[in-house]
Structure 1
Amino acid sequence: MPFGKLPAIEVDGKIIADSDNIHRWLEAQGHDFDTGLSDLDRANARAFIRMAEEHMYFHQVLDRWGDEANWAVVRHEYFAFLPPVLRTLVPNKLRRDLMRTMNGQGLGRLAPAERLERIEPDLKAITARLKASPFLFGDVPSAADASVGAMIGAIAAAPKPTQLSRRVADDGLLSAYAARCAQAMG
């Protein structure tokens, strides 16, 4: 991967990495993910995308890689293809490096309950928007729904329940929203 992380797509043998680059490339192909949104809604959609991709994402990563029960599943599922001699060394080094990054980023220093307090305002902001319509900015999904809905779904789908995954999975509005987004995005 050009940036050493996902998402990325391959088009005609070329890798397009990073969600912003993918979004721009798709729009250059004629797709408008924010059709009908006002300039203000487009600005708000951008903020929701950043909230999902630059804050909520790290909570989800810590639920997968920082939680021991989930890490056991992630290690097995992500790294089972490695030869036996590397199956322990590579994942453990990657995890150690990732957790060091999470600690430097700040969220890795917090206990799960503290992280839940930190993400709660994000979840409330999403819920507030969804009380008026099925998607964040109306009856039709936008780019913000592609990011936020996917993140909500990913958080709820932790292999082993965590405080955060239970919080999201037990929220009927958020769970239904994630399902609508998954269905709409195909």
Structure 2
Amino acid sequence: MNVFVHFRSCSRDYGGIMSVLGSDSWWKKTLYITGGALLAAAAYLLHELLAIRKEQELDSKDAIILHQFSRPKNGVPSLSPFCLKIETYLRMVDLPYQNYFDGKLSPQGKMPWIEYNHEQASGSEFIVDFLEEKLGVNLNKNLTPQERAVSRAVTKMVEEHLYWTIAYCQWVDNLEETQKLLAMSGPLSDTLKWLLSHLNGSMVRREMYGHGIGRFSKEEVYALMEKDMRTLATLLGDKKYFMGSKMSTLDATVFGHLAQAMWTLPGTRPEQLIKGELINLAMFCERMRRRFWPEWFVEVEDLYYDGDSESSSGGSPTGQLDFGLFSRTDTLDDSDGSSQSAGHSHTNSPDSDHSLFDSDVGTGSDNDIQLKEELMPDLEV
């Protein structure tokens, strides 16, 4: 999160506090002023340290520049479902892009956002619309009007409802564990990670309360989360993708959110569900990871939940992977040979291990059975 957003919010709260001090002693006012100054100094320092990969200004002529949050420490590309959604989408439509981890929000206060030919698009839905209009890509071109309607309805359930329950698990219920994933270095790294995580946690609580979902108990929030995840599992069934055998934008959306449950929340209720009873969702996430994130490796024991939170998290990589400033995947053709993106060819990398990276095969195939065996090693399939 851009800390200056939090600082502006804190400034408004600070003004309200000063207005009610009234006749209180001068030293109390001095205390509040000093606290505000310290908060401002901490916000400025944090902003400077968060610009981990501050590069020279990039020219967006004929290049997609993707602004997003810094990579976390455990190898997952992003702790933001929306950042992971858009970067996965760019790989799905085979568009080259440049990452810019500057922590700077868009003029609308959004993250992620993109620049292309000196034009900006903010908000994941508008980014997709922008790319469809400017570059002619369209993952939903093969969907019927009814399928498009279902896709939009499910997208809104995921982004406007499930999102808040996952955010609650990340930034409220498991704040200390999420704090460990933040990538910072230097003598004040622990202090800054504590500050940033607690600022984010406070913001999530406040926004959840305004949304309405934050007015319920922890048990009720998780009950709502479970209903959404069960709905997704039922919709997916035994299909490769949510709308059938062909990819759609919905797959990028769902993957961005479910990946948080798969790989950033060890031992929590979301992980227990996705790696246990709702195993088809875990298979979907692993299928997407293998196809579009071949450089993102996970341990086999990190793909299922065995009831022991320590062992289920023990296989997570500890080093931050370098995905590179410039990223492009050599995505593989669909099984019927048709291309998903208009005007962009798909080529197989000569060094690719076809059995590892191309899991886009029919349900019940040898590849899919092997994947299920990896996800459920103690069960017969």
Which residue of structure 1 lines up, in the alignment, with residue 283 of structure 2? Answer: 176
Do residues 30 (structure 1) and 104 (structure 2) align? no
**Shift of the alpha carbon at 1:12?**
4.5
Q: Which deviates the most, 132-141 or 54-63?
A: 132-141
Q: Which deviates the most, 112-121 or 39-48?
A: 112-121
Q: Is the 8 A contact 2:265 2:271 kept in 1?
A: no
Give the 3 Å change call, closer, same or farther, for CA 74–121 of structure 1 in structure 2: closer
Give the 3 Å change call, closer, same or farther, for CA 45–184 of structure 1 in structure 2: farther
Q: Which secondary structure state, in structure 1, belongs to the residue aligned with residue 289 of structure 2?
A: helix
**Shift of the alpha carbon at 1:14?**
5.0
Which residue of structure 2 lines up, in the alignment, with residue 7 of structure 1? Answer: 112
TM-score, normalized by length of structure 1? 0.84
Do residues 78 (structure 1) and 185 (structure 2) align? no
Give the Cα–Cα distance (whole angstroms) in 2 for the partners of residues 38 and 101 of structure 1: 35
Q: Which deviates the most, 95-104 or 78-87?
A: 78-87
TM-score, normalized by length of structure 2? 0.44
Which residue of structure 2 lines up, in the alignment, with residue 142 of structure 1? Answer: 248
Aligned residues: 184
Among 53, 69, 89, the residue aligned to 2:159: 53
| Structure 2 gaps, min length 5 | 1-104, 294-381
Which residue of structure 1 lines up, in the alignment, with residue 37 of structure 2? Answer: none
Tell me which amino acid in the other structure corresponds to 2:157: M
Q: Which secondary structure state, in structure 2, belongs to the residue aligned with residue 9 of structure 1?
A: strand
Q: Which secondary structure state, in structure 2, belongs to the residue aligned with residue 78 of structure 1?
A: coil
The C-alpha deviation readout for 1:65-110, integer Å capped at 9, x for no partner, is: 001xx31233343373587397144543342232122122222233
| Structure 1 gaps, min length 5 | none
Do residues 160 (structure 1) and 266 (structure 2) align? yes
Do residues 123 (structure 1) and 221 (structure 2) align? no
Q: CA RMSD in A?
A: 2.5
Q: Is the 8 A contact 1:133 1:139 kept in 2?
A: yes
The structure carrying a bigger helix percent of its residues is 1
**Which protein shows a greater Rg?**
2
